[in-house]
Structure 1
């Protein structure tokens, strides 16, 4: 198997080692291979390809991180056509911050948005859900299609 080098902060490397030990992995390489495979599968074609979806994207990060907060605002503006809602909340006792976005766009745009949020800082934890948008014209009872971005 080829060897691949990767740079990461000590905190992340130590976390990988602890995770591997606690979950019965043979070492950090096995954890990294599994994580990479999972990420690649997440971005492979799905039933949602070329469909509009409604997604909630939640990013959690440390309290009083002005650079991360600024980047979240920049991302909101960058994707403003797709952002339907955005909120910022501080956790109790300043334990961290939560940035929540509601996105309506084609699935590939949602994946691009998620990748952009994940790329803000290695300390940002990101979770999301996505469901296809099937908007019905209530009066006519017919499907309603929005124009693509």
Structure 2
């Protein structure tokens, strides 16, 4: 059975596309399409990994966001207030004039940790998010 290829169109900021083009050239991809297919496969695998996080976990969420974008800081605070039972600590600092780096340290049920990470990741202005979890053993 032959796979049907679908054609899509996307809009990207110029600097993001230039950076992507540089990376796919360095990595030896034959085309943008091949690079995008690989990126989508990686994104899908990451999503599937996140769906498998269950049970008691210790975790960190590290994120970079545009703190000059109207409303993003307040939205982050509101979301975090909804998960105070999970959050042990957080630290935030400016890495550039318009960019903040924040690390949130968590302890709780994996499903809730993933839910929090996904809510933060979906905010407009969040540039990057990394979730790290480890199972928590009960003594």
Residue of structure 2 equivalent to 1:107: 110
Q: Secondary structure at the match of 2:62?
A: strand
- How many aligned positions are there? 135
Q: How does 1:68-87 map to 2 (within 5 A)?
A: 68-87=72-91
Residue 94 of structure 1: CA displacement? 4.5
Write out the 4+ residue segments of structure 1 that deviate beyond 4 Å after TM superposition. 62-66
Normalised to the residue count of structure 1, the TM-score between the two structures is: 0.72
CA distance in 1, matches of 2:120, 2:40: 18
Specify every segment of 5 or more residues in structure 1 that has no aligned partner in the other structure, as ranges: 137-149
Pairing 1:116–2:119 present: yes
Q: Supply the RMSD in Å over aligned alpha carbons.
A: 2.7
Cα drift, residue 96 of structure 1: 3.5
Which residue in the other structure is 1:36 paired with?
40
Q: Distance in 2 between matches of 1:45 and 1:15?
A: 26
Distance 1:29 1:21 in 2: 12
Matches of 1:52 and 1:21, distance apart in 2: 42
- Unpaired segments of 5 or more residues in structure 2? none
66 and 126 in structure 1: CA distance in 2 versus 1, 3 angstrom threshold = same
Q: TM-score, normalised by structure 2?
A: 0.76
Residue from 125, 132, 137 that aligns with 1:134: 137
Q: Which structure has more RCO (C-alpha within 8 Å, separation ≥ 6)? A: 2
Separation in structure 2 between the aligned mates of residue 5 and residue 105 of structure 1, nearest angstrom: 40
